[in-house]
Amino acid sequence: MDRRHVLKALAMTPLLTPNWSFSAQQHKFDAVVVGAGVFGMWSAWYLRQAGLSVAVIDQSTPGHSGSSSGGESRVTRTGYGDSELYTEWSHRSLAAWKKLSEASSLPLFHPIGMLMVHQEDDPYVMASKAVLKKFGIPFKALNTKQLRNNYPVMKVKDGERGILEPNAGGLMARRGVQTLAVKAAQAGVHIFQGTVSPIDSTRSRQGALTEIEYKHGNGIGRIQAENFIIACGPWLDKVCPEAMANRLFVTRQEILYFQASREVTGKLPTWATLPYYGLPDIEGRGFKVANDTHGTRVDPSKVNRHVHDEVIQQTRLFLAERFPGIANQPLLESRVCQYENSSNGDFVIDLHPGLNNTYVVGGGSGHGFKHGPAVGRYVTDRVLQRGTVIEQLSLESKATVQDRQVI
Ligand SMILES: Cc1cc2nc3c(=O)[nH]c(=O)nc-3n(C[C@H](O)[C@H](O)[C@H](O)COP(=O)(O)OP(=O)(O)OC[C@H]3O[C@@H](n4cnc5c(N)ncnc54)[C@H](O)[C@@H]3O)c2cc1C
């Protein structure tokens, strides 16, 4: 089947919504983004806002169930220990999420606040407070008594403290990505479906990638571009094996939703008593609870997506200690997802080592969702060669052994 036939077949392929744009004529763009997750879609959005012709290609649909952006909800917070980068990025990103949420018929952001429970003098929280103060981001320090009075659903141990970010809250993940994809398509971003073959820098022309090859059904297609952004989440090392070179660690993560309405949880915001974190019931989905500890390493295409019984039991034990009123509530829903971790938890946003027009974007490491807009802006700056290069996000700074630093 030649390209003309593939493009014709694709044009007839019913995609997620009639708003997806598709041009059977155009197959050369200023920028092609591979991956329609939160990083890819925000990159496409800002590249298009900068006036570039942009296409996005994904093996499935934006925010699909197997992707890392495909879950129901995500926590957003700005407290990040001493990391000014992630504090600033999540703060700026939240403004963009709010703007998108305001333009959406269904909410993308629930401004219910974010509470981290901690030990007195916890160095991470002390550092967070200093950075939040520096950026003028509001927070409230709560003592044991205030925690107990404010959140009676939660069992607070003697001496525990809390830091509340009143402006933070919960993002609707899958809905957010889909909403952005529809907006991007309306703004002229072309969205294709196809599975892109691994990028091979030995086939470059003067150090540049000229086209990518993708499979769709039984056909093979090609798209040409001046710039390529490879934002393949947990598949990043499969599409960019040379660049990632054993520096992506995909882990299996389990999430549970228990029946506990807001009448039960009161004004409890999104919360973290690490390693557990969660959200109160949002839009009737139940009380979300998950363990942030990295699970076993998996292949995202083959991961067993049945939650293990032991995890349900362990979670109930945690709930019995921390939220006793919820420990025996019925399980409403469960989900298995994956973190696409870099070695230390810092994102990877860098030029492909063998290609001078191809950017590798990923390593969200279990905390990337909230930063989607800032990632998209930074990618756009890199493509347009403006702004400063952030060494912390380079490939070079990543190791082949996992040593998590970013929480
Ligand atoms: C359980 C869980 C809880 C989390 N909680 C939070 C949280 O509370 N707060 C927070 O900020 N972050 C959180 N995160 C992290 C965040 O969700 C991820 O970091 C983020 O969604 C990653 O987005 P991405 O665009 O890099 O990847 P993805 O969303 O996976 O997107 C990658 C896309 O690339 C496509 N693709 C891959 N290979 C190909 C190919 N060959 N051809 C074409 N397309 C391809 C895929 O189909 C996919 O759509 C959590 C993640 C998980 C899993």
Each residue of 56-83: pLDDT tens digit?
A: 999 999 999 999 999 999 999 999 999 9
Ligand 1 centre distance from Cα of residue 206 (Å): 32
**Ligand 1 near 338 CB (within 6 A):** yes
When the pLDDT of each residue in the chain is averaged and rounded to a whole number, the result is: 93
What is the average pLDDT across 267-271?
A: 97
**Ligand 1 near 360 CB (within 6 A):** no
Kindly state the percentage of the chain with pLDDT values over 70: 94
**How many residues appear in the chain?**
407
Higher pLDDT, 366 or 22: 366
Quick one: 188 and 65 in the same domain?
Answer: yes
> Mapping DSSP to helix (H, G, I), strand (E, B) and coil, where does residue 163 land?
strand
- Of 171, 369, 393, which is best to mutate to test ligand 1, by the most ligand atoms within 8 angstroms of its C-beta? 369
Comparing 12-21, 176-185, 299-308, 329-338, which segment has the lowest mean pLDDT? 12-21
Classify burial at 263, counting beta carbons within 10 Å of its beta carbon; exposed 0-12, middle 13-18, buried 19 or more: exposed
Contact 248, 237 (CB under 8 A): yes
Quick one: 286 and 375 in the same domain?
Answer: no
CA distances from 296 to 51, 153, 321, 401 (A): 42, 32, 25, 15
- The answer to whether residue 76 sits within a structural domain is no
Domain endpoint, select from 311, 341, 371: 341
Nearest to 255 by CA among 315, 303, 299: 315
Give the predicted TM-score (pTM) of the model.
Answer: 0.95
How many Å separate Cα 343 from the centre of its chain?
Answer: 17
- The answer to whether residue 257 sits within a structural domain is yes
Which residue's CA is the nearest one to ligand 1's atom 16?
369
| pLDDT exceeds cutoff 90 at 23 | no
Ligand 1 centre distance from Cα of residue 65 (Å): 10
Ligand 1 centre distance from Cα of residue 339 (Å): 8
- The answer to whether residue 127 sits within a structural domain is yes
Contact 271, 115 (CB under 8 A): yes
Quick one: 311 and 284 in the same domain?
Answer: yes
Quick one: 243 and 181 in the same domain?
Answer: yes
Ligand 1 centre distance from Cα of residue 181 (Å): 15
Tell me the CATH number at 183: 3.50.50.60
Integer Cα distance of 344 and 349 in angstroms: 14
Beta strands in 127-218 (DSSP E): 140-142, 160-165, 169-172, 190-193, 195-196, 211-216
Quick one: 240 and 273 in the same domain?
Answer: no
Kindly state the percentage of the chain with pLDDT values over 90: 91
**Ligand 1 near 69 CB (within 6 A):** yes
**How confident is the model at residue 134, as a pLDDT?**
98
Which residue's CA is the nearest one to ligand 1's atom 27?
233
The pLDDT confidence band at residue 18, using thresholds 50, 70 and 90, is very low
**Ligand 1 near 234 CB (within 6 A):** yes
Quick one: 293 and 329 in the same domain?
Answer: yes
Quick one: 239 and 279 in the same domain?
Answer: no
Domain endpoint, select from 308, 341, 374: 341
Contact 312, 333 (CB under 8 A): no
Q: How many domains is the chain partitioned into structurally?
A: 2
- The answer to whether residue 128 sits within a structural domain is yes
Which residue's CA is the nearest one to ligand 1's atom 33?
35
Ligand 1 centre distance from Cα of residue 205 (Å): 31
How many CB atoms are closer than 10 A to CB 19? 13
Quick one: 324 and 361 in the same domain?
Answer: no
**Ligand 1 near 367 CB (within 6 A):** yes
**Ligand 1 near 61 CB (within 6 A):** no
Tell me the CATH number at 294: 3.30.9.10
| Widest distance between CA atoms in the chain | 70
The domain in which residue 262 lies consists of: 110-168+249-341
Domain endpoint, select from 304, 321, 341: 341
Integer Cα distance of 259 and 284 in angstroms: 9
**How confident is the model at residue 26, as a pLDDT?**
64
Ligand 1 centre distance from Cα of residue 37 (Å): 6
How many CB atoms are closer than 10 A to CB 74? 22
Percent of the chain as helix, strand, coil, to the nearest 5: 30, 25, 40
pLDDT in tens, 87-116: 999 999 999 999 999 999 999 999 999 999
Quick one: 279 and 239 in the same domain?
Answer: no
- The answer to whether residue 371 sits within a structural domain is yes
What is the average pLDDT across 125-142?
A: 98
With a CB cutoff of 8 Å and minimum separation 6, the contacts of 276 are 289, 290, 291, 292, 315, 318, 322
What is the average pLDDT across 195-218?
A: 93
